[in-house]
Chain A
Amino acid sequence: DAGVTQSPTHLIKTRGQQVTLRCSPKSGHDTVSWYQQALGQGPQFIFQYYEEEERQRGNFPDRFSGHQFPNYSSELNVNALLLGDSALYLCASSLVGQGSTEAFFGQGTRLTVV
């Protein structure tokens, strides 16, 4: 079982650019959630995707958007990057369709905006 995989592991972008982060859920899972973890802080919920729809959303601006594909993998897109978007972005997968399980986290993508 490969677990939750995220790519890339590290990324450096310039302010104003756009970025796409990718997540493959644990085998058998149908739901993907994204979290932002700023340095020295706990993770903060961005949004959750289930059945290719955004199911829940945290307090993040519209610059943050996502997508879920039929194979349950997901992308997180951030437009017009700000220095404050520098953080570890964590993807978590779970099974919701047939009874809820806890969230399993990937290793994260470290985004640095310069």
Chain B
Amino acid sequence: AQSVTQLGSHVSVSEGALVLLRCNYSSSVPPYLFWYVQYPNQGLQLLLKYTTGATLVKGINGFEAEFKKSETSFHLTKPSAHMSDAAEYFCAVSGGQGGSEKLVFGKGTKLTVNP
């Protein structure tokens, strides 16, 4: 069985500040991990994914995440927040690439960026 816990349903940062969104997972098989972003009234857009290999993963829009197996974590970071980053962010786990295996999502973290 797989599950995802996102710590903090709401995170607020100032423009230019560090963004840190937390994700912890549970998986009985080697996990594939994903971060998706959802803008209002939109679908989900893939930010980045961890499959195997390098544990630091770089994604679109300056985001990156680090897979830490010992901590069962996959936290999302961005050095400097931009107003356009305001959205809801979902962490997900899968037993595969996410195309052949189902994705199990967390409840999401809503990011607010203050000017």
CA distance A104 to B44 in the complex (A): 8
* B45 in the interface (beta carbon within 8 A): yes
Name the one of A4, A94, A110 contacting B98, with C-beta atoms under 8 angstroms. A94
Q: What residues on A are CB-neighbors of B4 within 8 Å?
A: 42
**A103 contacts across to B, CB distance below 8 A:** 46, 98-99, 103
In the assembled complex, B100 has its CB within 8 A of some CB on chain A: yes
CB<8 Å pairs between A and B, sample of 13:
A41-B108, A43-B105, A94-B100, A100-B98, A100-B101, A101-B97, A102-B34, A102-B49, A102-B99, A103-B98, A105-B44, A107-B43, A108-B42
Q: Are A102 and B44 interface neighbours, CB within 8 A?
A: no
Q: Is A24 an interface residue (CB 8 A)?
A: no
**Residues of B in contact, count (CB < 8 Å):** 25
Given B41, B43, B104, which contacts A105 in the complex, CB threshold below 8 Å? B43
Q: Verify if A8 is at the interface (C-beta below 8 Å from B).
A: no
Contact call B43/A108, Cβ cutoff below 8 A: yes
Interface residues of A in 47-76 (CB under 8 A from B): 48, 56, 58
Interface residues of A (CB under 8 A from B): 4, 31, 33, 35, 40-45, 48, 56, 58, 90, 92, 94-96, 100-108, 110
Q: Are B43 and A106 in contact (CB under 8 A)?
A: yes
Structural contact, A44 and B43, CB atoms closer than 8 A: no
* B36 surroundings in chain A (CB, below 8 A): 105
A8: shortest Cβ distance to chain B, in Å? Answer: 14
Q: Which residues of A lie under 8 Å from residue B108 when comparing CB positions? A: 40-42
The interface residues of chain B lying within 8 Å CB-to-CB of A31 are 99-100
Please, how many angstroms separate the alpha-carbon atoms of A90 and B45 in the complex? 12
Instruction: State whether B99 touches A95 (Cβ < 8 A).
Output: yes
**Alpha-carbon distance A110/B42, docked complex (angstroms):** 10
